[in-house]
Amino acid sequence: MLDIKFVRANPDIVKENIKKKFQDEKLPLVDEVISLDQKIRELKQEGDELRKERNTTSSQIGILMREKKLDEVDEKKKRVTEINSKLVNIEKEENELSISLKEKMMVIPNIMDPSVPIGKDDSENVEIEKFGEPYVPDYEIPYHPDICEALDGLDKESAGRTSGNGFYYLMGDIARLHSAMLSYARDFMINKGFTYCVPPFMIRSDVVTGVMSFAEMDAMMYKIEGEDLYLIGTSEHSMIGKFKGQTVKEEMLPITLTSYSPCFRKEVGSHGLEERGLYRVHQFEKQEMVVLCKPEDAMDWYNKMWSYTVEFFRSLDVPVRTLECCSGDLADLKVKSCDVEAWSPRQKKYFEVGSCSTLGDAQARRLGIRARGENGNYLVSTLNNTVVATPRGMIAVIENNVNADGSINIPKALQPYMGGLEKIEIKK
C-alpha cells in the first residue's frame, strides 16, 4: 500500500505505474483517494477547531459560574452540547471515509522498480541468466508420476478417494527424498546465517490482507468456516505477520529468517496431465526465506536471496535459469520479482521452482512494522523467496537424475539425509 502523501504529491507517477501494469480500470482510484483524503483532512481540521472551541467554552463556563452569570452559563453549555453533537457526526463521517480510503488505497498497486520490464503477462517475462547446461539423455524420460509409481512412491488414486483431485500420497523412498530436500534446504539456509522457524499454519484475516492483495487472497486462500482463520498459502504470510504492529530496534536489522511449513492453495485451473502429476496440487511443503531490512539495503538482499535458490538447485545438479517478471505479471504489492526455473529434460523446457520478491514498505505499511533509528521511526522493507517448494522441486531432481532403467540417482548433497542411500532402485 502506498503512502497517501506520496499519492497526493505524485498522482501522475501513480497513474503511469498503473498503466504500465495494464490495469487502466484502476486509474479513477487515484483521483478518488485524493478527493477522499482532502475531505478527511477538512473534517479533521473542522473537528480540531470545534474541540478547541469546546475547551475554551468549557473554561469560560467555570469562570461564569464563579461570577454567578447563570444566563451566560446556560448559553455556553448549550454551545458545548451543539459542538459535541457536531463532533459525533464529524467523527462518524471521518471514520467512514477513512475506511473507504483504505479500501481503495489497498487496490492501487505498489510503485515498481524502474528496472522491471514492461509486458502484459507472464509470456513477456524476460530471461536473465542460465546456470548449468541443460541436458537431454538419449533415452526417453517418463512423466514424473509414472517414474514415482514405478518406484512404489506415489498413490494419487487413494488420495482421490480420501481428499479428491490435487492431493497425493508419497510413499517409501520417494517420500524420503521429499523430506530429504526439505531438511537439506533448512540446513542450507541455516548455514547462510538465517534463523530457522516453524510458524503457525493458520492466520487471521487482518494478517492475510496485510501481506497480499484481495485478488490473490480470493484466488489462493482456504478459509476456515465459522472462524477468522485462513490456511496459509506460504509461510511468508505467517513470518511477516509475526512482526505486525511491532517497532524493532534498527540494530536488529536485517532480520533473516528461514521457515518451514505446509502450504495450502486452491490452485484453480489445473487440467489434463497436470491433474495426474504433482505440478499443481492443493497441498505441498516449502522452505522459505524472509528478510526485514533497511530500505536502502533491500535490493542487495533481493539479489542475494534469488542467488541462494540458484545455488541450492545447482548443488543438486539441476540446471536452472532466472526469469524477470514483467509489469503485467507482477503482483500489486511487489516492487520487483524474479522466478527461478528448473530444467525439465522430459519437456525440454524450464518450469518454475521458486520466486523471489522485494515489496518495499507495502507490507510493513499495512501491518505497521517499523524500525526505530537515530532519526526516528521508519517502515522496514520486506522480502521473501522460495528456497524449495516440493513436490515440485523434487520433480526437477527426479527428472535430472533418472536413469534409463527407471532408477534415480540421489544427489550427493541429499545422501546424508537419505541414510547414505545413493540410488532409489525399482523393487523387483
Query: Domain map of the chain by residue range?
Result: 4-105, 122-424
In sequence order, the 6+-apart residues with CB closer than 8 A to the CB of 251 are none
For residue 279, what pLDDT is reported?
Answer: 86
Among 33-47, 59-73, 92-106, the minimum mean pLDDT is found in 59-73
Instruction: Tell me the fold of 4-105.
Output: Helix Hairpins (1.10.287)
pLDDT at site 143: 93
Residues 6+ apart with CB under 8 A from 360: 110, 111, 295, 298, 335, 381
User: Which pLDDT score, from 0 to 100, does residue 272 have?
Assistant: 47
- The tens digit of pLDDT for each residue in 368-422 reads 999 999 989 999 999 999 999 999 999 999 999 999 999 999 999 999 999 999 9
DSSP run (H or E) holding 340 = strand 336-344
Q: How confident is the model at residue 127 (pLDDT cuts 50, 70, 90)?
A: very high
**pLDDT > 90: what percent of the chain?**
85
Q: Which three cell numbers stand for residue 198?
A: 516453524
Please give the grid coordinates belonging to residue 176: 524420503
Compute the distance between CA of residue 340 and CA of residue 321 in angstroms, rounded to an integer.
6
Grid coordinates of 266: 486452491
Q: Is the pLDDT of residue 59 over 90?
A: no
pLDDT digits (tens, 9 = 90+) for 260-308: 999 999 875 544 445 578 988 999 999 999 999 999 999 999 999 999 9
In this prediction, residue 419 carries a pLDDT of 96
In what helix (H) or strand (E) does residue 263 lie, and over which residues does it extend? strand 255-264
Q: Own/partner pairs for 171-174, CB < 8 Å, 24+ apart?
A: 173/418, 173/421, 173/424, 174/148, 174/394, 174/424
Of 358, 316, 306, residue with least CA distance to 128: 306
- pLDDT: which is higher, 344 or 267: 344
Element (H, E) at 85: helix 70-105
Top-confidence residue, 136 or 267: 136
Higher pLDDT, 213 or 199: 199
CB-based contact 425:410 (threshold 8 Å): no
Sheet holding 370-373: strands in order across? 247-249, 370-373, 376-379
In angstroms, what CA-CA distances link 286 with 71, 171, 223, 323? Answer: 75, 18, 20, 20
162 neighbors 278 (Cβ within 8 angstroms): no
Check if the beta carbon of residue 168 is closer than 8 Å to that of residue 295: no
% of the chain exceeding 70 in pLDDT: 98
Model confidence pLDDT, tens digit, residues 305-325:
999 999 999 999 999 999 999
- For residues 89-115, average pLDDT: 95
Judged against a pLDDT cut of 80, whether residue 218 lies above it is answered with: no
Q: What is the pLDDT of residue 189?
A: 98
The continuous run of DSSP H or E covering 321 comes out as: strand 320-324
The pLDDT value given to residue 261: 97
- Cell 498503473 sits on residue: 18
CATH architecture observed for domain 122-424? 2-Layer Sandwich (3.30)
CB contact at 8 A, 185 and 392: no
| Residue found under cell 527407471 | 406
pLDDT tens by residue, 3-40? 999 999 999 999 999 999 999 999 999 999 999 999 99
pTM of the model: 0.90
Q: How many CA atoms lie within 13 A of 268 on its CB side?
A: 7
CB contact set of 219 (below 8 Å; sequence gap of 6+): 266, 268
**What is residue 275's predicted lDDT score, i.e. its pLDDT?**
58
For all residues of the chain together, what is the average pLDDT? 93
Distance CA 391, CA 180 (A): 11
162 contact partners, CB below 8 Å, separation of at least 6: none
| Spatial CB neighbours of 188, under 8 Å, sequence gap ≥ 6 | 308, 312, 315, 387
